[in-house]
Chains A and B, each alone.
Chain A
Amino acid sequence: MIFVNGKPHDMPDHATISELLAGLSIDPEAPGIAVAVDSEIASRGAWASHQVHDGAHVEIVTATQGG
């Protein structure tokens, strides 16, 4: 199990960030998205190969209205 934006999330072993996004119906090609795994930023170019380990805390962020 991993944590995505603070919520528990079941995911197969060795799944990549790209597969995680697809499972969440998030288009990895969409602009304006960044991903951090355990507080380290995972660059977009590495999403297809970056495997998310069990217990990882994943943050998926985008721009929203703000000051």
Chain B
Amino acid sequence: MSETLTIAGRELTSRLLLGTGGFTRLQTLGDAIDASRAELVTVAMRRLDPSAEGSVLDVIADKGVQVLPNTAGCFTARDAVRTAKLAREALGTDWVKLEVIGDERTLLPDAPELLAAAEELVDDGFVVLPYTNDDPVLARRLEDVGCAAVMPLGSPIGSGMGIANPANLTLIVEQAGVPVILDAGVGTASDAALAMELGCDAVLCASAISRALDPVAMARAIALGVEAGVLARGAGRIERRTHARPSSPLAGMPEFAE
């Protein structure tokens, strides 16, 4: 794996993307951006509240990171496309983390709507990073319509359940011709490390960091988890065995009298 991650021609040195949801203070968000070393930071698009003090955009500008708007909260392709266009107009970026949700309780993606929205946005010139199920066929279809990356979930958003189906994630990684970014489900640093060990190109975290007892420390821990996973993947892990394989020589054992 190369030192850098390239998405749609843009080179990133960090393989950790940070979601800004859930931070209770903007100061903590800023510190977590520093600690995570993330270069891509997500935001949601919502109605303007003129009375709101401070803005996530001020923090993002201050830290010099790239904003990645999402379409969170959209349940149809139509609404997601409109939200992406509003984000492009508001933020001057044609990058979008595409979310089209099919179920309120699990927040799992709606596959047909997601694919339709992805195709329409790609045709309109967007760099589309779709949040998708851990379904290798859907991931391939999203790549086929021109998505710049695929972002399979590990487990439901905010659940902290880690990678529920490592086998599917491995299948997605094996076939993908675009970066695979694990999105959703990370609960702690070891989940992020596992994602990278399985061959993901990056990890996106929000709740795992923002809702940790110490978000800044967790941001650093998960960044190190990502780094450890990359190193471990490159180092080539040993095969799993059913039985033990001694690591000390069998020959030359001393004999002890009864």
Interface residues of A (CB under 8 A from B): 5-6, 24-26, 31-34, 36, 39, 41, 43-44, 59-67
Contacts and interface: CB of A to CB of B under 8 A. Distances in A.
Interface residues of B, number: 32
B44 A34 contact: no
Interface in B22-76: 22-23, 29, 42-48, 50, 55-57, 67, 69-70, 72
B161 to A, nearest CB: 16
B43 A34 contact: no
B46 A67 contact: no
A63 B85 contact: no
Given A36-B86, A65-B21, A65-B29, A59 B47 contact: yes
Contacts of B82: 36, 39, 41
B26 to A, nearest CB: 8
A59 to B, nearest CB: 7
Interface of B: 19-23, 29, 42-48, 50, 55-57, 67, 69-70, 72, 82, 85-87, 89-91, 97, 99, 157, 206
A62 to B, nearest CB: 5
In the A-B complex, list the 10 residue pairs whose CB atoms are closest, starting with the nearest. A66-B44, A34-B90, A63-B43, A34-B89, A34-B86, A5-B47, A65-B20, A67-B19, A64-B46, A66-B21
A24 B99 CA distance: 31
A8 to B, nearest CB: 15
Given A25-B50, A32-B55, A32-B91, A67 B85 contact: no
- B interface SS class: mixed
A26 B226 CA distance: 41
B48 A67 contact: no
Nearest to A39: B82
Given A31-B57, A34-B90, A63 B47 contact: no
B72 A62 contact: no
B56 A65 contact: yes
B174 to A, nearest CB: 27
B134 to A, nearest CB: 17
Contacts of B56: 63-65
A1 B89 CA distance: 26
A63 B157 contact: no
Given A41-B85, A67-B19, A24 B50 contact: yes
A33 B48 contact: yes
A25 B256 CA distance: 90
A29 B133 CA distance: 39
A66 B42 contact: yes
6 contacts: A5-B48, A6-B47, A31-B57, A61-B47, A61-B86, A65-B29
